[in-house]
Structure 1
Amino acid sequence: MKYALGIACLSALSVALLAGPASPGAQAAAPAAAQADAPLADRVAALEKSVLANNAQIGALTKDLNDTRDQLDKALAYLGQQALAARDLGLALDAAEQQGFAVGENHASRKTLLEGWRKQIASAQADLPQRAPSAAPAAARATPLPRSSGKPAPKK
């Protein structure tokens, strides 16, 4: 029994020595913990700087998103106008057909057709969405601008 108790104590002692402060892992952890506590103010300052940079980037991304939504609204309004103009052109073509345009040369029907085309053309040229000016600096952009390959653009 004494022998078994001695072995248990020795094995417990060896485990304690291997896992205790004498082990290399524990020795490396102690200075790291001391270093982590020492520059706490520096770490806080770095985190605050990071938060400010992230907030600036979030602001730039929010502005980009709002500009994109504005452009989408303008594009949808423009497309709605095009749909109305196409409907008007269809009505003008129907009226021209009823006035005899398909049967022969009829002056009134050609005028109706020309009037419809003019409305469609005027609508296609009015209130085109414009690209929003880029107010965000290049460093704050959400996506980088494409790099040029140095090759000239292909001719069409």
Structure 2
Amino acid sequence: MKYALGIVCLSALSLVLLSGSAAPSLQAPKPASGTQTALDALTERVTTLEKQLVTANAQCTVLSKDLDDTRALLDKTLAYLGQQALAARDMSAALDTAEQQGFAVGENHPSRKTLLEGWRKQIAAAQADLPQAPKPVAPTARATPQPRKPVAPPQK
């Protein structure tokens, strides 16, 4: 009989606990309206950040392509300027040879000397202050790919 009474008491206690009337703290808490609002705000913030990330990635892709195009143009420009400097050096040697062969002597020789002087100034300017490719940055400090190796001007 004691056994039956114990079972009845346990059953009644279980029923009361499961119904939640005896101990509301044992039930899963319902989110308060403030908590739900905070959760909604966080969800909205995550959605906004995801959209911003997609936009930033698209901009990064465009800028990366633009950087690659600019590097290619820089390589071509440096090669062209190198070729111009070599041509100016060759022209300077040709002017020296022409002067040694007597180009500046004879009739109206001052005008020829003036012409040679003007060409030499132009040639000196073409060879001075040639731009150089920027020095590469250490790979760990870069967010972009390493620059291409500069194109060397053709050797004559």
**Normalising TM by the smaller chain, what interval?**
0.3 to 0.5
Which one scores higher on RCO, CA 8 angstroms, separation ≥ 6?
2
If the length of structure 2 is used for normalisation, what is the TM-score? Answer: 0.44
Query: What's the TM-score, normalizing by structure 1?
Result: 0.44
The higher radius of gyration belongs to 2
